Chains A and B, each alone.
Chain A
Amino acid sequence: MSSRDAFSFLLLSRNLSLSNCDDTSTHTVTMVSLKRSASEPKAESRPSKRARASSADGDVRDAAAANIDKDPATPRRDPRPDLQRPSTTDLPTRPHAVLDDSEHPRPEGQYHPGIVPNSDETSSIRSTSSGRDNDPHTDESVFDDRDDMPSIADRRNLVSNAAAAFVIIPQSSRVAVLDEGNTPEDTGFDQGYEAASTASWDVVALYDSENLDRQPEVQYQPTDAKDELTESYETRSTGSTSVTSAADWDAVTLCDSENLDRQPEDQYHPTDAEGELEEDESELSEGYETGSTGSTSITPSVYDNNTFEDGRRYQNFENGYYPIPNDREELVREDIKHCMLMELCDGQLFYAPIGDQPQMILDIGTGSGELCQSSSHISSQCPDKLYDPPGVWAIEVGDQYPTARVRGIDRSPTQPDWVPPNVDFLNDDVEQSEWLEQNVDFVHFRFMAIVLKDVVGVLKRAYK
């Protein structure tokens, strides 16, 4: 977890300056690099802009500039004559690379575009980059290396492609993604349907990623009659090659996007041939009963539990009235507090001595991990998000304790779905219902005692 990176990201999004901090150099470096990359597409139209700027600035200055340009004895101003400029192959080409120093370590004493070697030269870079449109004296060659960099639009495409690639990365053989390529039309699934792979990859929820309000066109009803079940299975197996090839799925959760009250229906798929399906019916019923323990509880319908007031989004879990929003701004604030506490506790996630091999950890009010959101719908909304540091407590604990199963509970379904395989989330209210988890080793609350209406009641529920 690099809290400083996250902090720099926040600063970038807020246009703040860290004038009061000692770490000004590193933060300013990041700010300057982004500013320069943002102004990069201007490079092609620079001459016309310069001409316009010159005419706007006045004739006196323009004439002076012309004189200087004509004078061969006048040396061109280079803000950094001692430093050798790198070749274009040293330039970062990946979209992440602008903010990522570790991938492209810069050599000592070498000028690297976008990265200022020390804070003393920050001011020169700033004045150069800001004044280059209307200052004809500015040395253009400093920026010439950057002309072959991808444009902002290209970078966004790269970022979105990268995000799509993240979704498809098979963490295990159980992942299957239904997209335009491998979804046959005769299955009844539109191309808009895609498989959202969940925490442990055991369960694949099918939902319409583009139109959350649309009714799924295929609904599987778990039935007792063997004939109907076989028919349903046949339809699926003959129609969809991709589904049968992923024969080791455990269950498929179908989410009804319009009916909030209905439970998602689990369709159990036998791992082998059709004959086993007809022979072993007890296995089928077992599949219905066990349901899914490895899934998120999120269906598209839970996103409807929101109210918008004054431009802020409030959660409306079971008609609750909660004073604090749950929109992106608030989630980022939660991540700031997470970074702050990690700094305060020297990277220690908790103080309780729970040993090295806990089995079950609960995180009550788990929050967001907004900065680590990698799911496809979020990435498509924020194409200019350049990198994803981890943020949420549950994810970091899941990484630190691979033996443990970590479950985050929150009233708002704002958690990321790209998580370690031992982490999942439940959309629930710990004050209203009995807890589902048993044999818990460790229950963690953060910033929850204030917003719980009955602290003792929740603690007693944890104690039970």
Chain B
Amino acid sequence: MSYRSLKPGGWVELQELCAEVLCDDGTMPDNDPVKYIYELVQRAFEKFGMNVTVPKDLEDRLREAGFENIQCVMAKVPIGPWARDKKLRSIGMFQKIAVQDFMSVLPGRPFTALGMSQVKSHATIGYARSALDDTRVHRYFPYYFWFAQKPK
């Protein structure tokens, strides 16, 4: 007997970044450039049929697909080396570089899909780049690790 994909009792895991910039201690203003960039990203990816905040709603989708024993581990990943914990500070440095590199992608297809001009795209991203260097603003991304099991 062979099963088409997963064996009964097999597992699926999704390690996802929920691409919205959050802050818990109020150091991030509402008009924060990095936060604004990711709001634009959200709108741009919707043009491609993608939802960048779907990782926080994966439980319903896993259940709809038939999985059970759904579990989730959530982690806050700082953007930039502002964390007091040494390991998180290193992780924040990684995340900051990843965000910086992602910004260089944005003036291409994503912001063009929004109808933004190249000048406006680069100007917006320039503000965000300089804002990333400010370690007084405690931005973070929520990461979700969903794992679920096919019934035996």
A contact set with B: CB distance below 8 Å: 7, 10, 14, 16, 18, 20-23, 309-310, 312, 314, 321-325, 329-330, 332-333, 336-337, 339-341, 343-345, 350-354, 435, 437-453, 455-456, 459-464
User: Given that A21-B89, A333-B98, A449-B54 are known contacts, is A463 also in contact with B150, CB under 8 Å in the complex?
Assistant: yes
Q: Do B5 and A341 have beta carbons less than 8 Å apart? A: no
Docked complex Cα distance between A441 and B13 (Å): 11
Query: Known contacts A16-B97, A22-B86, A312-B108; can you find 12 more A-B pairs with CB under 8 A?
Result: A7-B90, A21-B93, A323-B105, A330-B101, A351-B73, A442-B10, A444-B12, A450-B54, A459-B12, A462-B65, A463-B6, A463-B65
Q: Do A344 and B108 have beta carbons less than 8 Å apart? A: no
Q: How many pairs, one residue from A and one from B, have CB atoms within 8 Å of each other in the complex?
A: 184
**In the complex, which range does the number of interface residues on chain B fall in?**
35 or more
Docked complex Cα distance between A450 and B4 (Å): 25
Docked complex Cα distance between A271 and B50 (Å): 51
| A-B pairs with beta carbons under 8 Å apart, 18 shown | A7-B90, A21-B93, A309-B108, A309-B109, A322-B48, A323-B44, A323-B105, A333-B102, A340-B94, A343-B94, A344-B143, A350-B15, A439-B3, A442-B11, A442-B12, A444-B12, A450-B51, A450-B54
Q: Do A456 and B2 have beta carbons less than 8 Å apart? A: no
Q: Do A343 and B91 have beta carbons less than 8 Å apart? A: yes
Q: Do A455 and B52 have beta carbons less than 8 Å apart? A: no
Q: Do B89 and A463 have beta carbons less than 8 Å apart? A: no
Q: Do B77 and A450 have beta carbons less than 8 Å apart? A: no
Docked complex Cα distance between A418 and B55 (Å): 32
B contact set with A: CB distance below 8 Å: 2-7, 10-17, 19, 44-45, 48-52, 54-55, 58, 61-62, 64-67, 71, 73, 75, 77, 80-81, 86-87, 89-91, 93-95, 97-98, 101-102, 104-105, 107-110, 113, 135, 143, 145, 147, 149-150
Docked complex Cα distance between A383 and B149 (Å): 45
Docked complex Cα distance between A459 and B101 (Å): 30
B94 to chain A minimum Cβ distance, whole angstroms, is: 4
Q: Do B108 and A20 have beta carbons less than 8 Å apart? A: no
**Residues from chain B with Cβ under 8 Å of A354 in the complex:** 10-11
Q: Do A352 and B11 have beta carbons less than 8 Å apart? A: yes
Docked complex Cα distance between A463 and B148 (Å): 10
A22 to chain B minimum Cβ distance, whole angstroms, is: 6
**Residues from chain A with Cβ under 8 Å of B73 in the complex:** 351
Docked complex Cα distance between A330 and B109 (Å): 14
Docked complex Cα distance between A351 and B14 (Å): 10
**Residues from chain A with Cβ under 8 Å of B44 in the complex:** 323
**Residues from chain B with Cβ under 8 Å of A446 in the complex:** 14-16
Q: Do B15 and A443 have beta carbons less than 8 Å apart? A: no
Q: Do B94 and A442 have beta carbons less than 8 Å apart? A: no
User: Given that A333-B101, A441-B11, A459-B67 are known contacts, is A450 also in contact with B91, CB under 8 Å in the complex?
Assistant: no
Docked complex Cα distance between A350 and B62 (Å): 17
B17 to chain A minimum Cβ distance, whole angstroms, is: 6
B82 to chain A minimum Cβ distance, whole angstroms, is: 8
Q: Do A323 and B11 have beta carbons less than 8 Å apart? A: no
Query: Which of B54, B101, B135 is A455 in contact with, Cβ under 8 Å?
Result: B54
**Residues from chain A with Cβ under 8 Å of B5 in the complex:** 435, 437-438, 440, 443, 461-464
Q: Do B6 and A443 have beta carbons less than 8 Å apart? A: yes
Which 6 A/B pairs are nearest by Cβ-Cβ distance? A459-B65, A340-B94, A352-B11, A352-B147, A464-B4, A20-B81
Q: Do A344 and B65 have beta carbons less than 8 Å apart? A: no
Q: Do B91 and A445 have beta carbons less than 8 Å apart? A: no
Query: Which of A336, A445, A449, A451 is B97 in contact with, Cβ under 8 Å?
Result: A336
A309, A340, A452: residue with the most chain B Cβ atoms closer than 10 Å:
A340
Residue of B nearest to A321 (CB): B48
**Residues from chain A with Cβ under 8 Å of B75 in the complex:** 344
Q: Do A464 and B6 have beta carbons less than 8 Å apart? A: yes
Q: Do B12 and A351 have beta carbons less than 8 Å apart? A: no
Query: Which of B48, B51, B95, B113 is A340 in contact with, Cβ under 8 Å?
Result: B95
A13 to chain B minimum Cβ distance, whole angstroms, is: 11
